[in-house]
Amino acid sequence: MGLIGSLITVLLAVLGAGYFFFGGSSSAPLTVTNDMSLLATYEGLHRYEEVRDQALDVKDLVQENVKETMDSADAPVLSEVSETEKATAPEKENSAIQIMNRLMNSGFSVPGKPRTIDTVVLHSSYDLNGTDPYSVSGIIKEYEDYGVSAHYLIDRKGSIYRLVENKNVAYHAGVSKMPDGRQNVNDFSIGIELMNTQTGKFTGAQYDAVNNLIASLKKQYPIKFVVGHSDIAPGRKTDPWNFDWKKVK
């Protein structure tokens, strides 16, 4: 019972002594029922306060540990990566080239089985609707509007953008026929778009990029043919405009 119990014991002893000395005739017999109830209530309250204080101590300790962890140099730093940053993150295809993903959500289909790829088709295009004919975003928006796509787009500086994964069928060739008689060229080909207008010339950086990209594709697939859109859709298509085929290795 501790100190409180000792004090109550002394008090009871004093009261008992007073009762003995004064004969006990002038007061009612002493009872300790109410005193013991009060004591029990006090001890219960005291125990509750002890538990509460311990809980508060634990809470303070947890808060201090959390603060120390967040303030420490080793604490993890969370950051968000925007969709644009994800889209333009460079991806190394091999030691020679870098390819940036700008994957489209339309203009292609997912085949039911792995594709057999042996053909590369070269195209040229530019943004007809915007103020900058060589805007990557403008050209992709135009593809989306028409429901078409290519696997790759090469800008004027020679940067390569992946628009559709090689495993998927990009809608770049349309109604087409190979010199060997095969049709539905989209099914077995990779389409590469190079930025250029109908009267413009391709840059040296674009020729370097397309040669590096074709060389990379040849390491992945048994490429037998590299043709222009006009070769597989004569009379309907004339691109790639002003392309110097002698510069293709």
| Among candidate residues 237, 192, 198, the one with its CA nearest the CA of residue 99 | 192
Token digits of residue 176: 């087409």
Please indicate whether residue 193 is annotated as part of the active site.
yes
Q: In whole angstroms, how far apart are CA 121 and each of 7, 45, 93, 154, 232?
A: 102, 86, 19, 13, 9
Catalytic residue among 64, 68, 80, 193: 193
| Cα–Cα distance measured from residue 163 to residue 150, given in angstroms and rounded to the nearest whole number | 6
Look up tokens 């390569």; give the residue.
Answer: 160
Do 107 and 170 meet the contact criterion of CB atoms below 8 Å apart? yes
Task: Give 93-97's long-range contacts (Cβ < 8 A, gap of 24+).
Answer: 93/213, 93/216, 94/216, 94/219, 96/212, 96/215, 96/216, 97/160, 97/209, 97/212, 97/213, 97/216
Residues with a catalytic annotation lie at: 193
